[in-house]
Structure 1
Amino acid sequence: MASLTCRADCTHPANHRHLRFVWLYFTTVNLSALDLNLLLVFHTVLEEKTVAKAAAKLHVTPPAISNSLSRLRAVIGDPLLVRRGRGLVPTPRAQELAPRVATALRELERAVGDDRTFDPATTRRRFVLACSDNDQIASVPHLAATLASEMPLAQLHIVSIDQLKASDGLAAGIVDAAVVPTAASHADVHAEPLYVDHGVLVLRKGHPIRAPRLSRAQFNSLRYVDTWIVLGRAGVGTKMMDAFLHRHGLVRNVAVIVPGFAAAAMIVATTDLAVGMPMRVAVQLAKHLPLRVAKIPAPAMPIEMQLVWHARTHEDPGAKLFRALVADAFRDKPRR
């Protein structure tokens, strides 16, 4: 949370009335649709007068600020801030709320204090991780077991990469960390390499093609299950895979399209269809289904993955421990 300033003495009994007012007001709207981050954004935009300056102060993107304001407007039923020239001015409703929200936020900040201690054994914090379908199968079970041991009262919430992209989750503070393909760095985002995987072919046990490495003719003769991986843009994963195969004279004749690897594996286990997927998830699925892994007739295409998190949580003790547990669970050779 950004440091907030409040001229009033928040310990004075009169100021507790502000906190009660904010609580009573929002319980008359839709408290389930509200989170405190929306009030913090509202307060900061009022202070800074522009979305851009508020975004810089909170270390998020301007679209994330605009999205938060839209959500708060929907909850309250008032525009709150309207554009005038290059800045924003508050509506009468916003002017009524502003001093009380400022005092309430300050009171909450004082209640939390600056104590940076964190007890893994007693924390009930919810940690949110965004990762792909294949990582959810290959690595999240290990992470869940480790978290249960290290932070037994904490909660793990897994969301998809698509949800991360749609909500600008890191900047908006919706997720604590994400496991994503290695890409160019971004301001206010930290990154740590996790693992390098590669694609393989998965067939059912007893499939007519038994070779451990398929020939080009064998590969092109098969029909395939396609996993429609979005990664923020519909079908981008499929397009990347097909472009790679085309460079090596390989073509997939797609019979079925599904949104994830678990469904694809279930289909392949009971048909003569084949599916391509990362090695890590293929090995895990083959432990539970009658599947075997084969090599494709092309050089291995490296799949480099990294752990990313926002600068806002970089020094947070709980977030640091959570990231260490994620890295431990997702790396090729876990340290534990």
Structure 2
Amino acid sequence: MSTPDLNLLITLDALLAEGSVARAAQRLRLSPSAMSRALARLRETTGDPLLVRAGRGLVPTPRALELRERVAPLVLEAQAVLRPVELLDLAQLERTFTLRTGDGFVENFGARLLARIAAEAPGVRLRFVHKADKDSTALRDASVDLDTGVVGETTSPELHMRPLFHDRFIGVVRRGHALSRGEITLARYMAGRHVLVSRRGQDLGPVAEALSALGLQRQIVSMVGGLSAALALARACDLIATVPERHSASLSEGMFSFALPFSTPPITVALLWHPRMHADPAHRWLRECVRHACSEQPDTPVPR
């Protein structure tokens, strides 16, 4: 069975509405002969004459009258599908978005983000899932709507990316730790015992690379998978946690933070999403909400 030409629905709608080949042709910006050929195809497809001559005009057949009630809504619906999305009604939006975030993101930015969403779109829910790796499969298969993280060589080039904020590494110790008093020199930092944040259990990354360039290596006595665990150990023991400043701000409250006594390159935390979601109005609104929540986070200088 051949596939019907759906363009004929638009032609049929114009013919039934106008009751005239000439006026229907003018409405669709076609020549009268082209419209006559289209009417012939419609008659062949439907098996009905549809419009028959009565005096100097055309009148619809019973089949045409039946179709007129059904064709017009179909054409309107098709036009609505192909029309650009109209202004998003946030008050009526009901949707659940999944955000994959690194350790510390929810603790530092989650409350601000939820407050804005509650004020603008109370029907929206956020589901936060932990970022265990940099694999982009979750974005590709739509199990995750947005991802956050440091863009690196393993980031898929197909993804859209928008920088959220810059961060830097700092040291954090408990109040009363030896480093909380006096000048923090490279020698004092290296003499301390350190807790390392590493999902792979290896001392890699900007801090290790900066120290390696100086011919130095920290004394790592514990390795953990996230910031909260590292800071919990540093709070309870005489350990030094070297962590991203903004990601650890709320987790390190009440502790002593200090600028590192050596240079490390800044890191850029970005928002990532799949091209499939780029033009979606609700998704675009959510991206702006996340950017707003992160950009308003104040930068608090750490003591030296």
Give the TM bin, normalised by the shorter chain.
0.5 to 0.7
Residue 223 of structure 2 corresponds to residue 254 of structure 1? no
**Structure with greater helix percent:** 1
- Which is greater in Rg? 2
**CA–CA distance in structure 1, aligned partners of residues 121 and 3 of structure 2:** 39
**What is the TM-score with the length of structure 1 in the denominator?**
0.59
Unmatched tracts of structure 1, length 5 or more: 1-5, 9-108
Residue 212 of structure 1 deviates from its aligned partner by 6.6
User: Do 1:212 and 1:295's aligned partners in 2 also have CA atoms closer than 8 Å?
Assistant: no
**What residue in structure 2 maps to residue 220 of structure 1?**
190
**CA–CA distance in structure 1, aligned partners of residues 118 and 133 of structure 2:** 25
**What residue in structure 2 maps to residue 197 of structure 1?**
167
Q: Any residues of structure 2 matched to 1:166-205 within 5 Å, and which?
A: 168-183=137-152, 186-205=156-175
**CA–CA distance in structure 1, aligned partners of residues 185 and 224 of structure 2:** 26
Q: Any residues of structure 2 matched to 1:274-313 within 5 Å, and which?
A: 274-287=240-253, 290-313=254-277
**CA–CA distance in structure 2, aligned partners of residues 243 and 249 of structure 1:** 10
Change (3 A) 1:128 1:286: same
Change (3 A) 1:214 1:296: same
**CA–CA distance in structure 2, aligned partners of residues 156 and 138 of structure 1:** 15
Q: Any residues of structure 2 matched to 1:1-336 within 5 Å, and which?
A: 116-117=85-86, 118-162=88-132, 165=135, 168-183=137-152, 186-211=156-181, 214-229=184-199, 234-235=200-201, 238-240=203-205, 241-287=207-253, 290-331=254-295
**CA–CA distance in structure 1, aligned partners of residues 169 and 156 of structure 2:** 27
Deviations 1:248-298 (A, max 9, x none): 3442212222211112112211111110101113332233xx311012211
**CA–CA distance in structure 2, aligned partners of residues 181 and 212 of structure 1:** 33
The farther-off stretch of 248-257 and 180-189 is: 180-189
User: Do 1:223 and 1:254's aligned partners in 2 also have CA atoms closer than 8 Å?
Assistant: yes
Spell out structure 1 runs of 4+ moving beyond 6 A: none
**CA–CA distance in structure 1, aligned partners of residues 148 and 182 of structure 2:** 31
**CA–CA distance in structure 2, aligned partners of residues 239 and 136 of structure 1:** 24
Letter in 2 for 1:329: A
**CA–CA distance in structure 1, aligned partners of residues 213 and 187 of structure 2:** 15
User: Do 1:180 and 1:306's aligned partners in 2 also have CA atoms closer than 8 Å?
Assistant: yes
User: Do 2:227 and 2:243's aligned partners in 1 also have CA atoms closer than 8 Å?
Assistant: yes
Change (3 A) 1:163 1:7: farther
The farther-off stretch of 213-222 and 194-203 is: 213-222
**Aligned with 2:144: secondary structure?**
coil
**CA–CA distance in structure 1, aligned partners of residues 220 and 93 of structure 2:** 48
**Aligned with 1:276: secondary structure?**
strand
Deviations 1:23-77 (A, max 9, x none): xxxxxxxxxxxxxxxxxxxxxxxxxxxxxxxxxxxxxxxxxxxxxxxxxxxxxxx
User: Do 1:223 and 1:274's aligned partners in 2 also have CA atoms closer than 8 Å?
Assistant: yes
- Percent identity (aligned): 26
Letter in 2 for 1:122: Q
Change (3 A) 1:328 1:190: same
User: Do 2:104 and 2:251's aligned partners in 1 also have CA atoms closer than 8 Å?
Assistant: no
**RMSD (Å), alpha carbons:** 2.9
**Aligned with 1:214: secondary structure?**
coil
**What residue in structure 2 maps to residue 59 of structure 1?**
none
**Aligned with 2:247: secondary structure?**
helix
**What is the TM-score with the length of structure 2 in the denominator?**
0.64
